[in-house]
Every structure is written in structure tokens, then in C-alpha cells.
Amino acid sequence: MTEAINIKNLTFRYSPDDKRNALDDVSLTIQQGEWVAIVGSNGSGKSTLAKTINGLILPEQGSVEVFGQTLAEENIWDIRKNVGMVFQNPDNQFVGATVEDDVAFGLENQGIPRDEMVQRVMSALKKVRMEEFMTREPVRLSGGQKQRVAIAGVVALAPKMIILDEATSMLDPKGRREVIATIRQLKEEENLTVISITHDIDEAALANRIFVMQEGHLKLEGTPADIFAYGEQLIELGLDLPFAEKLKAALAKLGVTVPAAYMTEERMLDWIWTSLLKK
């Protein structure tokens, strides 16, 4: 496997007067093609970590390697080509008057020839299933559609990695499902590395691995099953538990013997059906 990210002992503070570091001795690696979720309470350093990965912030102490290149002032632009970012507010991400103009914007900036540009815009819009909306005004789309257009704008630039910083947090459940399905599909088709920063624990449960941040530290890391096994300790880290895990805890309180391993909602439903109801 190829390493997408290798962060060693990264420490960062926005201002010398801050009472603590925004990132404190963070070390982690992410493999190419992985889907990683970063969770943690407000101010724990998630966005700061994302900003160091695409060079919006340069490390003061420690190092950040992105696809084998050590981040430094000279190669920020090279690295940024490989790392696309999508942010929280769908309305703050548009620069074009129409959907197609908007997706074309980054390509225009890179001086891509017109024919190729038209092709890449179309292909990116197809990938997020928004091609029918090409000539529409972005303001007239739903939140989920807007975020899919924002993703198309990133995908058109063919990055190897996409970072979603709470990109679904302002969407309704349908919008969230649309965006997550889009990301899943892109990940399969393009072997994209995905970093999703989220407060939605059910969304985090979809990742291959979860990183839990607390006050600038990387507190826990593991598969969703590993992480959810911490149970109520997670609440102290400012996290919620997935619905299936809450249900398990409630059943345990009623004296029901429940399996220790993490289960998705579907598996939980199966288990309830076969082990509890069919007895």
C-alpha cells in the first residue's frame, strides 16, 4: 500500500499567546484509498489538522508528508493539486454563475485548454449525478445538490485525496445521504483517499478508521468497531454513540446479554430479530 499521509510529531499554535497548542504532537499515517473519519469536540483541532494536510498551514514543529512529498513552502501548490477540500457551508463555495462555470473555475485557473475543460466538467458533473443541472444557477439548488457540485469542482481537478470538513453538517438527512453516496462511489471508482471530518457519528461509522481528537491531541485511533467499544467513555471525549450502540447499552441495562462487538444498525436489527424475537 502507498502512504497518502505521514504526519510526525506535528505541533501547531496559531499565536504565541494561545494557552494551548491547536495541534500537540500529532503523529499518524493514512494509506492511499483509505476512508478516514476525524471526530472530536469543538476546538479539538480537526480543521487545523485538515489545513496542515493541504498546506494552508505550515508545520512549526514536526513534519507532514503528503503522497511522499514533505510539505514546505516550495511545494505547497504541487501538494494542493493532490488534495481537494470541501467545506461546511454550501453557499460559500460558489464562484460561477452557473453550475458548469463553477465546476470549470479551478480548471480555468490551471490553464487547462477549453476542449479538455468542457470534457472534464461534464465528466465530473456526471460522477456526482448533477449533469442535468449544468446550466442552472447554483443558488437555486438544494443543499445536497450544492455540495455535490462543490465535490464536482474538486473532482474535476483529479486530486488523489479529498478532505470534507463537516461538508454534510448543514444538510438534511436526504442531502447527507446523497453526498455520502457520492463520496463512496468516487472512492470506489478513483481509489480516492477520503478524510471526512464530522460530528455525525453514524457517518464516522462508515469509515475504515476513525481518529478521535481532544484538545489538540490524537486521543484514539482505530476501526469503528475498536472506537465504539470504548462505549460511554466516548461521551467524555465529546462524542455521541451510534444508535445501535445506544440501543445495546439500553438493552444491557435491562439485563439482556448483548454481543460486545460493534454492529451496524442492519446487523443490530438482524441480531434482535434472530436472538431476541425468535426465541
Q: Which residues bind ligand ATP (CB under 6 A)?
A: 14, 22, 40, 42-48
Report what 21 binds from Mg ion, ligand ATP, none; CB cut-off 5-8 Å by kind.
Answer: none
Q: Is residue 147 involved in binding Mg ion (CB under 5 A)?
A: no
- Kindly state the number of chain residues that form the binding site for Mg ion, as judged by CB under 5 A: 1
Q: Rounded to a whole number, what is the distance in angstroms from the first to the last CA of the chain?
A: 46
Q: Which of 44, 47, 82, 93 binds Mg ion (CB under 5 A)?
A: 47
How far apart (Å, rounded) are the C-alpha atoms in residues 128 and 121? 11
Which cell goes with 204? 464516522
Could you give the angle at the alpha carbon of 133 between the alpha carbons of 175 and 122, nearest 5°?
105
Tell me the three state secondary structure of residue 217.
Answer: strand
In angstroms, give the least distance from the CB of 62 to ligand ATP. Answer: 16
Report what 103 binds from Mg ion, ligand ATP, none; CB cut-off 5-8 Å by kind.
Answer: none
By beta-carbon proximity to Mg ion, the closer residue of 47 and 168 is 47
SS (H, E, C) 92-135: HCCCCCCHHHHHHHHHHHCCCCHHHHHHHHHHHHHHCCCHHHCC
By beta-carbon proximity to ligand ATP, the closer residue of 49 and 155 is 49
By beta-carbon proximity to Mg ion, the closer residue of 141 and 164 is 164
Contacts of residue 169, Cβ cutoff 8 Å, sequence gap at least 6: 88, 198, 199, 200
In angstroms, give the least distance from the CB of 46 to Mg ion. Answer: 5
By beta-carbon proximity to ligand ATP, the closer residue of 45 and 143 is 45
Residues in touch with Mg ion (CB under 5 A): 47
